[in-house]
Amino acid sequence: MFLLKPFCKINLFLDVLNKRKDGYHEILTIFQSIDLYDEILIKEDETLRIDFNSNDYFIDPLNNTIKKAYHIFKEEYLKITNGMWQDFYFSVKKNIPSGAGLGGGSADGAAVLNFLNSYYGYPFDDVKLREISLKIGADTPFLIEGGSAIGRGIGEILDFFNIDGFEMYKLFIISPNIHISTKEAYDGISKYLTKEKKYYNIYNLIERPEGIFGSLKDFYNIFEKSIFQKYPLLKEIKRKILQYDPLLVLMSGSGSSIFAIFENEDKFNLLKEEFGGNRIFFTTPITREKIKKQLLTKL
């Protein structure tokens, strides 16, 4: 029996540069893993079975990222081997909200790919596994490894880097009961697109002598412009959080979660009172090294 901990992510920065000829959008982002995870209990079985334990997050049992990852890996694995295939039972406890810009579904899919790759003796290297994972979602290649990375292309071109001491900082996340699909977010972004290339701007920001912490004031999420117009509650949440003087407060991904970074937990009780009754999380950034140690446990 095995226990998986799929860690999710926030976007410290997110811009959409243009729409490509293939219909996808070219993005520039900074991914950051956080210490918020689902729990997936796995055991060998005679057939594939998946159960979800979720109080308020609907997960389609016939169409979900765990099932998708499972079949993608199986197909690729059987292309290169004549070996036997073992089926599994997955019992999933959902802690990460769905449709919230935290990559919860993608994290689950990435974790299952990592598990199967480990179980079958690592038939695929990291590069191939990230390539396979792109069939699940644009942020899944990052979530295969996690940590901190600049993402380009549709999110699959990754430059990993370290943010020294970042895991000591504290995160407050509020995830309202608003589900925003990726399509909905991109449909509203077209008038804000720019042809300006910002790759080097971002690299310059993170390479400042004071590190990324001196650049937080320059970070933004372009989706806020259109999403906040459609969902004014999210704009109001951000306004209220700003009164507590965070280092950074942004919407993550295409929404609807809003996160704030603080140096310590001094204001967390006040934030809890302010936003009581909402779905809130208190967590921290997490490094690639810690993810590798905690992702998979044999029971």
Q: Which two tokens stand for residue 222?
A: 């372009």
Cβ atoms within 10 A of the Cβ of 165, count? 10
Helix H or strand E encompassing 133: helix 126-133
Residues carrying an active site annotation = 9, 139
CA 59, 178, 140, 104 torsion: positive or negative?
negative
Report the side by side order of strands in the sheet with 2-4.
49-53, 87-93, 39-45, 2-4, 296-298
The most distant pair of C-alpha atoms in the chain lies apart, rounded to whole Å, by 61
Around Cβ 214, how many Cβ atoms within 10 Å? 12
Residue 10: which of 296, 277, 271, 251 has the closest Cα?
251
User: Three-state SS for 106?
Assistant: helix
Q: Which helix (H) or strand (E) holds 292?
A: helix 288-294
183, HSE (Cβ side, Cα atoms, 13 Å): 0
**Distance, CA of 34 to CA of 260 (rounded, Å):** 12
The residue type found at 47 is T
